[in-house]
Amino acid sequence: MILLPTMLLLASPTPDVVVAALHRLRIATQVEGGKVKACQARVSSGDAEIDRTACEATVACFNGGVTQPEPLADCVEVKVAAFVRKRDGQ
């Protein structure tokens, strides 16, 4: 399980609502044979798109070889932050 802590210190400000949502988000994964086979938001951020993106990022990062908790969380955060910036037009 991964906790996405307070949504990064982005160059462009992120709305407080998004920051709070990401602080709550908990991702649960099922790993088989060294690869993530299933992923879900165990505790939702309150934003289905962010939850989905966090799961997709978790799968991509973990299956790409980033398997230690802290580097994995960092990898996921970067991908989620990029999604939020793009979605919000920043």
* The predicted structure's pLDDT at residue 24: 84
Please give the model's pTM, rounded to 2 decimal places: 0.76
Please give the radius of gyration of the chain, using alpha carbons only, rounded to the nearest integer: 12
The pair of structure tokens assigned to 30 is 């099922």
What mean pLDDT do residues 52-67 have? 97
Nearest residue to 27 via CA among 7, 54, 49 = 54
Tell me which of 59 and 73 has the higher pLDDT: 59
**Parent domain of 25:** 2-87
**Tens of pLDDT along 27-56?**
999 999 999 999 999 999 989 999 999 999
Number of domains in the chain: 1
- The kind and range of the H/E element at 16 are helix 16-24
